Amino acid sequence: MYRLLPVRVLIALIFLSASIFSCDYVEYPYTPPTPVNVNSDTVQKVRKVILEEFTGHTCGNCPTAAKSATGLKNIHGDKLVLLTIHEGFFALPQAPPFTYDFRTATGTAYGSFFGVIQHPMALVNRIDYPANNHLKTPGNWSSLIDSLLDVPVEAFISMENDFNEATKILDCNIRIDVLRPLTGTFNLVVLLMEDSIQKAQIDYDVPNDTVQDYWHRHILRANITGAWGDSVLTDPQEGDTLLKNYSYSVPADFKGYPVHTDQCFVIAYLYDATPPAPTYRILQAEETKIK
Amino acid sequence: MGTLKRLLSSLLFFYPLVCLSQTITPGEIHSDIQVDAQYYRDDSAIGATSVPENILMNSYLNLLYSRGPFSGGLRYEAYLNSIQGYDTRYSGKSGIPYRFISFAKDELSVTAGNFYEQFGSGMILRSYEDKGLGLDNSFDGVRLQYRYNGLQIKTLAGKQRFFFSLGPGIVRGIDTEVSINEFIPILRDSSRIRLILGGSFVSKYQTGTEVVYLGYNLAVPRNVGAWSARGAASIGKLNLSGEYCYKINDPGDFNRYIYKPGTGLLLTANYSGKGFGIFFGAKRIDNMSYKSDRTALGTDLNINYLPALTKQHTYSLLAYYPYATQPNGEIGFQSEINYKFPKGTLLGGRYGTHITVNCPSFNGLDTARYPASDDTLNRLGYSSEFFGAGKLFFNDFNVEVNKKISSKLKLNFVYAYIIYNKDVVQNLSGYGTVYAHTGMIEGIYRLTSSHSLRLELEHLYTLQDDGSWAHFLAEWGAGEHFYIYAMDQYNYGNKKPEKRDHYFSCGITYIKSSTRISMAYGRQRQGYYCAGGVCRYIPASNGITLTVISSF
């Protein structure tokens, strides 16, 4: 003889079953873009976020992430600074057409320091370091950038560049305006970025997995200050200003690939380097063409 | 006087506890501990580097207490810092990521805290732990299990472990399994025919209704459900089983935010008679990565497990090209025949000869990508033929012969021809497909009742990848407790002469009762360690390793 299931167990199971039968079917996933007031007026002191994306030319999933980053740039305009760092296994020169080398000592140092073992991954203002979830996948970028842009700006960076075509000397004049009192030590990093270089790239979204004339965007080419920058501010007060000038000789080529100076930018950012445990959080970023 | 008063007060305070301890049994406590430590040296020839800490160490301690219907346990883990090849998100962390309390009485069992669970073959839900892979996706929540004659119902709700925190999603699930024999009188006492049916439903919840991907604003589901149905039948010596699963739209980083439903099918059949067995399994997986975080990648926060249907080789060079299950799409099969030539026959000899022929093969799916212009409404990504096969991912034809020559000597032979699409399996580019012939001969000779000698020779021949390898291992079972070995792997066929390296190592293992201590010194080549179709990359290293495992 079989006993009936105890009523209370049945009720509990039915209740639990009902609660889990939840499925959200999405029949039309595309939604209209959220209206964003893209403000390109750099005089207005707004928060600017930097997304440092780690990539490589044989990383077949990276072009999709790059498109995602470009899409976000289209939405946020000047409020978002993109920097693409070629490093790690996927950036190693390989058999043709992947013989070129976009790696830099600075990029390798960043990849190693921030523990990049997967691509594509990005740092968004380097937040969540050292909690060990600082490396963000593309699906996280948008909401993170939105939330960071909502935070009142703490310091503002303005920049003017003067590039001498004859001598190839770049003079970079940077001004930092502190808008809120800050505690700690802050470093300024200045980098050279070259945008839009056409070279081959593995892309798993195309039939034969290779795009011969892929447009590489926002490539880290060199550092002007050093990978970890110069210590420029300690416990600054609201209203403090700082002027820094850097002079840099732009080389004719990087690892055999000629530099197109009309596609070069200077990127500067300020980050928290307070000893003994810097958070590396980036407070503000800025980018300006060298000419 | 004051001291006496305090003593009396203390005795009065503890008196009830003392009385209690006399009437209640104390229960049982079990524990096991594992420490893996490695000292690293620089070895530029093989790309091995030292570490600033000099020594890296992973440590685990399990404690389990049970008393009557109650049980509880915890696991302490420390990665100070984590051994190379482990996810750096473990590094520098320690704590108790696993603890639970459980009550089981009669038909009912309840667990609160962390637990591992599997529904059916695991295609829509399986949480498990594998230290070798650095993988632990246990649930933290509540599980209720009810068994009643031939009926078993399991329900659960929880979040998943994500290193030393929890993933953002909530997983809910129910699984039911019915033993048909218990409900059909003529089958109830049958030992020849057994029938089992089962079904599961799992739903995950994650906040957020919209993401920006490729510049598009996409509506994403907060609740993603998956179901499966399964059956198993055994009729005499024949066993059949099958499971089909389906997952609704589940866009995420792991599938590039496509909304195509996921499906999975697993069929197995085996027959085993005296001295003879045959197995056949088939599997088709389409977009079945199921994670409790839509932004997770790799092995992070897997809710499900897609069973491996390939042979897991244990010999070093045979395991050089292991297959990793491809959750976004694969189709394949595995067949295996084993036969024992009886004693006294020409091939069986005095002790009999055992032979196994095994052949798994896996391809990608035959898919057609929707052009972006045609996929602007539903974003399904691609279409796939159910029985169509795309490019070959993996094929392994292997034969194993086990032969006892005398009461002291036993020989094992293995030959394998492996076709390995390195780009797909290891998610790389530019390596192409590797074709590798591997042979292995092993001899185990019993010197005395407590001493033995094991010799292992392997050779891997390939023109691709790193070229050919040779492997030699000698192991001496020195008495009841000690094993001493020395081995060398030589990449003599590397196309780059400067990479033709020897990987020499030696070590000693001490085993007594439930304690095992191993120490080894030497080089370890880079490679992939795989278990159950899930893999972890291990970088090349040079140094000393120490492993201690003990339990009581």
Is the confidence at residue B179, as pLDDT, over 50?
A: yes
Q: What is the pLDDT of residue B271?
A: 96
Please give the Cα distance from A56 to A93 (Å, whole number): 10
For every residue of B271-295, DSSP letters joined together read EEETTEEEEEEEEEEES---BSSTT
Instruction: Check if A140 contacts B (Cβ < 8 Å).
Output: yes
Contacts of B93 in chain A (CB under 8 A): 132
Q: What is the pLDDT of residue A117?
A: 83
Is the confidence at residue B396, as pLDDT, over 90?
A: yes
Residue A82 lies in a domain: yes
Is the confidence at residue B200, as pLDDT, over 70?
A: yes
**Where in the sequence is the domain holding A75, given as residue range(s)?**
45-289
* Six-digit token string for B249: 């739209």
Please give the Cα distance from B204 to A134 (Å, whole number): 24
For residue B252, give how far its alpha carbon lies from the nearest alpha carbon of chain A (Å). 7
Q: What is the pLDDT of residue A39?
A: 35
Q: What is the pLDDT of residue B280?
A: 97
Please give the Cα distance from A216 to A127 (Å, whole number): 25
Read off the pLDDT of residues B136-169 as tens digits, 9 standing for 90 and up: 999 999 999 999 888 999 999 999 999 999 999 9
Read off the pLDDT of residues B404-463 as tens digits, 9 standing for 90 and up: 999 999 999 999 999 999 988 887 767 889 999 999 999 999 999 899 999 999 999 999
Q: Which of B218, B369, B427 sits opposite A30 (nearest CB)?
A: B218
Instruction: Check if A202 contacts B (Cβ < 8 Å).
Output: yes
Please give the Cα distance from A30 to A26 (Å, whole number): 9
For the four alpha carbons of B294, A78, A236 and A227, in that order, the dihedral sign comes to positive
Over the range B3-21, which residues count as b (16 or more CB within 10 Å of their CB) and which as e? eeeeeeeeeeeeeeeeeee
| Lowest-pLDDT choice from A11-25, A167-181, B154-168 | A11-25
Query: Is there a contact between A17 and B173 if contact means CB atoms under 8 Å apart?
Result: no
Chain A's closest residue to B167, CA to CA, is: A133
* Mean pLDDT within B207-227: 84
* CB < 8 Å from B in window 86-105 of A: 89-90, 94-95, 98
For every residue of A20-87, DSSP letters joined together read H------S--EEPPPP------TTS----EEEEEEE-TT-TTHHHHHHHHHHHHHHHGGGEEEEEEE-
Query: Is there a contact between B155 and A13 if contact means CB atoms under 8 Å apart?
Result: yes
Q: What is the pLDDT of residue B95?
A: 96
Give the distance, in angstroms, between the CA of residue B499 and the centroid of all CA atoms in the same chain: 32
Please give the Cα distance from B333 to B396 (Å, whole number): 11
- B260 in Cβ contact with B247 (< 8 Å): no
Is the confidence at residue B203, as pLDDT, over 50?
A: yes
Residue carrying structure tokens 């809120």:
A180
Q: What is the pLDDT of residue A20?
A: 56
Is the confidence at residue B108, as pLDDT, over 70?
A: yes
SS3 call for A16: helix
Q: What is the mean pLDDT of chain A?
A: 86
Residue among B110, B217, B290 with most chain A CBs within 10 A, to mutate = B217
Q: Which of A2, A27, A117 sits opposite B149 (nearest CB)?
A: A2
Contacts of A12 in chain B (CB under 8 A): 144
Q: Which of B215, B218, B220 sits opposite A67 (nearest CB)?
A: B215
- Burial category of B169 from C-beta neighbours within 10 Å (exposed 0-12, middle 13-18, buried 19 and up): buried
Query: How far are the Cα atoms of A18, B104, B126 from residue B302, in angstroms, in the given order?
Result: 24, 28, 8
Contacts of A59 in chain B (CB under 8 A): 429
Please give the Cα distance from B331 to B284 (Å, whole number): 4
Residue A30 lies in a domain: no
Contacts of B225 in chain A (CB under 8 A): 20-23
Q: What is the pLDDT of residue B225?
A: 95
For residue A236, give how far its alpha carbon lies from the nearest alpha carbon of chain B (Å). 33
Query: Is there a contact between B148 and A74 if contact means CB atoms under 8 Å apart?
Result: no
Read off the pLDDT of residues B73-96 as tens digits, 9 standing for 90 and up: 999 999 999 998 888 889 899 999
Q: What is the pLDDT of residue A24?
A: 87
Query: Is there a contact between B89 and A133 if contact means CB atoms under 8 Å apart?
Result: yes
Instruction: Check if B377 contacts A (Cβ < 8 Å).
Output: yes
* Mean pLDDT within B324-340: 95
Please give the Cα distance from A204 to A216 (Å, whole number): 16
Is the confidence at residue B488, as pLDDT, over 70?
A: yes
Read off the pLDDT of residues B277-304 as tens digits, 9 standing for 90 and up: 999 999 999 999 999 999 888 889 999 9
Confidence band, pLDDT 50/70/90 cuts, at residue A38:
very low
* Mean pLDDT within B32-55: 91
Cβ partners under 8 Å of residue B359, min gap 6 = B334, B335, B336, B395, B396, B397, B398
CB pairs < 8 Å spanning A and B: 157
Confidence band, pLDDT 50/70/90 cuts, at residue B18:
very low
Instruction: Check if B219 contacts A (Cβ < 8 Å).
Output: yes
* Six-digit token string for A270: 């300020």
Instruction: Check if A277 contacts B (Cβ < 8 Å).
Output: no
* Mean pLDDT within B374-403: 89
Instruction: Check if B146 contacts A (Cβ < 8 Å).
Output: yes
Q: What is the pLDDT of residue B334?
A: 97
Is the confidence at residue A124, as pLDDT, over 70?
A: yes
Instruction: Check if A77 contacts B (Cβ < 8 Å).
Output: no
Residue among B253, B379, B426, B495 with most chain A CBs within 10 A, to mutate = B253
Residue A1 lies in a domain: no
Q: What is the mean pLDDT of chain B?
A: 90
Amino acid at B193: I
| Lowest-pLDDT choice from A100-104, A136-140, B9-13 | B9-13
Instruction: Check if A108 contacts B (Cβ < 8 Å).
Output: no
Q: What is the pLDDT of residue B89?
A: 86
Q: What is the pLDDT of residue B123?
A: 96
For every residue of B330-398, DSSP letters joined together read EEEEEEEEEEEEPTTSTTTTTT-EEEEEEEEEEEEEEEEEPPGGG-TTT---EEEEEEEEEEEEEEEEE
For residue B218, give how far its alpha carbon lies from the nearest alpha carbon of chain A (Å). 5
SS3 call for B461: strand
Chain B's closest residue to A69, CA to CA, is: B214
- A154 in Cβ contact with A283 (< 8 Å): yes
Q: What is the pLDDT of residue A16?
A: 61
Cβ partners under 8 Å of residue B492, min gap 6 = B467, B468, B469, B470, B500
Read off the pLDDT of residues B399-412 as tens digits, 9 standing for 90 and up: 999 999 999 999 99
Percent of chain B with pLDDT over 90: 71
Query: How far are the Cα atoms of A2, A104, B197, B199, B439 from residue B154, in angstroms, in the given order?
Result: 20, 54, 14, 11, 46
Of residues B484, B478, B473, B406, the one with CA closest to residue B448: B478
Over the range A209-221, which residues count as b (16 or more CB within 10 Å of their CB) and which as e? ebbeebebbbbbb
Q: How many domains does chain A have?
A: 1
Contacts of A28 in chain B (CB under 8 A): 219, 377-378
Residue among B295, B429, B526 with most chain A CBs within 10 A, to mutate = B429
Q: What is the pLDDT of residue A207?
A: 76
Please give the Cα distance from B126 to B245 (Å, whole number): 13
Confidence band, pLDDT 50/70/90 cuts, at residue B25:
low
Residue A12 lies in a domain: no
Q: What is the pLDDT of residue A238?
A: 85
* Mean pLDDT within B227-243: 95
Q: What is the pLDDT of residue A6?
A: 61
Of residues B214, B449, B16, B389, the one with CA closest to residue A67: B214
Instruction: Check if B212 contacts A (Cβ < 8 Å).
Output: yes
Please give the Cα distance from A208 to A205 (Å, whole number): 9
- B506 in Cβ contact with B521 (< 8 Å): yes
- Burial category of B163 from C-beta neighbours within 10 Å (exposed 0-12, middle 13-18, buried 19 and up): buried
* Mean pLDDT within B339-365: 94
* Mean pLDDT within A248-275: 92
Pairing outcome for strands A185-194 and A219-223: antiparallel
* Six-digit token string for B70: 């109650």
Is the confidence at residue A10, as pLDDT, over 70?
A: no
Q: What is the pLDDT of residue B20?
A: 41
Q: Which of A5, A64, A209 sits opposite B148 (nearest CB)?
A: A5
Query: Is there a contact between B429 and A117 if contact means CB atoms under 8 Å apart?
Result: no
Between residues B209 and B266, which one has the greater pLDDT? B266
Residue A140 lies in a domain: yes
Instruction: Check if A64 contacts B (Cβ < 8 Å).
Output: yes
> In the structure, how many helices (H) and strands (E) does chain B have?
3, 31
* CB < 8 Å from B in window 20-39 of A: 20-34
Confidence band, pLDDT 50/70/90 cuts, at residue B11:
very low
| Lowest-pLDDT choice from A5-9, A53-57, B149-153 | A5-9
Query: How far are the Cα atoms of A113, A224, A238, A276, A286 from residue A280, in angstroms, in the given order?
Result: 11, 18, 21, 12, 17
Contacts of A205 in chain B (CB under 8 A): 256
Q: What is the pLDDT of residue B503?
A: 96
For every residue of B178-238, DSSP letters joined together read EEGGGGSHHHHT-SSEEEEEEEEEEEEE-S-SEEEETTEEEE--SEEEEEEEEEEEEETTE
Most confident of A239-253, B323-337, B370-384: B323-337
For every residue of A81-139, DSSP letters joined together read EEEEEE-SGGGS--STT-------HHHHHHHHHTT--SSSEEEETTTTTTTT--SB-HH
Amino acid at B32: D
Contacts of B201 in chain A (CB under 8 A): 17, 20-21
Query: Is there a contact between A23 and B251 if contact means CB atoms under 8 Å apart?
Result: no
Confidence band, pLDDT 50/70/90 cuts, at residue A12:
low
* Mean pLDDT within B335-348: 93
Residue among A36, A58, A68 with most chain B CBs within 10 A, to mutate = A68
Q: What is the pLDDT of residue B376?
A: 64
Instruction: Check if A278 contacts B (Cβ < 8 Å).
Output: no
Residue A28 lies in a domain: no
Please give the Cα distance from A217 to A196 (Å, whole number): 5
Contacts of B251 in chain A (CB under 8 A): 26, 29
Please give the Cα distance from B294 to A143 (Å, whole number): 13
* Six-digit token string for B488: 């060398």
C-alpha dihedral over A129, A132, A135, A139, to 10 degrees? -110
Contacts of B163 in chain A (CB under 8 A): 132
For every residue of A145-210, DSSP letters joined together read HHHHHTSPPSEEEEEEEEEETTTTEEEEEEEEEE-S---SEEEEEEEEEE--EEEEEE-TTSTTSE
Query: Is there a contact between A24 and B252 if contact means CB atoms under 8 Å apart?
Result: no
| Lowest-pLDDT choice from B255-259, B527-531, B538-542 | B527-531
Over the range B90-129, which residues count as b (16 or more CB within 10 Å of their CB) and which as e? bbebeeebbebebebeebebebbbbbbbbbbbbbbbbbbb
Cβ partners under 8 Å of residue A157, min gap 6 = A48, A174, A175, A176, A268, A269, A270, A284, A285, A286
Read off the pLDDT of residues A59-87 as tens digits, 9 standing for 90 and up: 988 998 998 898 898 888 889 999 999 99
Q: Which of B217, B252, B256 sits opposite A33 (nearest CB)?
A: B217
Residues in chain A: 291
Q: Which of A9, A19, A90 sits opposite B172 (nearest CB)?
A: A19
- B297 in Cβ contact with A137 (< 8 Å): yes
- Burial category of A83 from C-beta neighbours within 10 Å (exposed 0-12, middle 13-18, buried 19 and up): buried
* CB < 8 Å from B in window 203-232 of A: 205, 207, 209
Q: What is the pLDDT of residue B281?
A: 97
Q: What is the pLDDT of residue A15?
A: 53
* CB < 8 Å from A in window 390-429 of B: 427-429
Instruction: Check if A58 contacts B (Cβ < 8 Å).
Output: yes
Chain B's closest residue to A202, CA to CA, is: B429
Residue A20 lies in a domain: no
CB atoms within 10 A of CB B219: 16
CA-based Rg of chain B, rounded to a whole angstrom?
A: 27
Give me the CATH number covering residue A249: 2.60.40.10
